[in-house]
Structure 1
């Protein structure tokens, strides 16, 4: 079986910095790209989907949570040379937890609710502390 041909253009993705009782949800990726790294739940935007629809869908699919989206918390860009396997433009949103409990699945092998200032000891995606800081100002 041959590997799929990577897209010839950037992929648009969304993520959510979800806050609950003063803590932030971090998830650890179970597969590449970013296997073993803690990040925010999220994924690709599908054709015809709004950004808010995409982030709500991705969080529900990936982490089984219902969220209230508060606002855009910045952006990140991952290039193939950075080990991401593709070119991604990621729009992270600040959100508040509404319902559900996180669950592990083939994409996630760990999750933690952490105080936003207590991230020591975790391997994080590049730029995550800055995104978290921006999201905190919105919630």
Structure 2
């Protein structure tokens, strides 16, 4: 994907996915800046010709080895980071999705320093990317609405 992620000319479009597996959700500790070593959802930039859902599932597979099936769009998250002079260093619009787990335990990769399947009550005490907690709450709610559609293991 072309385009400068650092000091971009315009916001970068990205997609992420909250994968639900029974009463747990997949979190990955980011391996790259910005916000490296912080728990987040797998995701990345949308490539030309990809839908948001396709991008989220591709990034999930590349970053963690996990496969999932989409069950809903959660909401967009905006991440805007300014340098000490006030210039925009990063600007991402990330469309977060909810999905149900199909396969894979999660693998550490160049994108993910660590993987964990966390229960809803375990997330609040963890260092997470800005805006992630409300997204996870919505993902768990979508999962509860889907009921029997979630696979537990």
**Residues 1:72 and 2:73 are matched in the alignment:** yes
CA drift of 1:81 comes to 1.8
Q: CA deviation at 1:112?
A: 0.8
Query: Is 2:133 the partner of 1:129?
Result: yes
* TM-score of the superposed pair, with normalisation by structure 1: 0.90
Deviation at 1:5, TM superposition (A): 6.0
Asked which structure has the greater CA Rg, the reply is 2
1:115 matched to 2:119: yes
CA offsets 1:69-108 (integer angstroms, 9 cap, x no match): 0111111101132899411000100111001121111111
**Contiguous gaps of at least 5 residues in structure 1:** none
SS at match of 1:12: strand
Instruction: Tell me how large the CA RMSD over aligned residues is.
Output: 2.0
* Superposed structure 1 runs of 4+ greater than 6 Å apart: none
| Greater helix fraction, Structure 1 or Structure 2 | 2
Distance 2:14 2:65 in 1: 18
* Equivalent pair of 2:63/2:110 in contact (CA under 8 Å): no
Deviation for aligned residue 1:7: 2.5
**1:27–1:112 contact (8 Å) kept in structure 2:** yes
Corresponding position of 2:60: 59
Aligned length: 137
- TM-score under structure 2 normalisation? 0.82
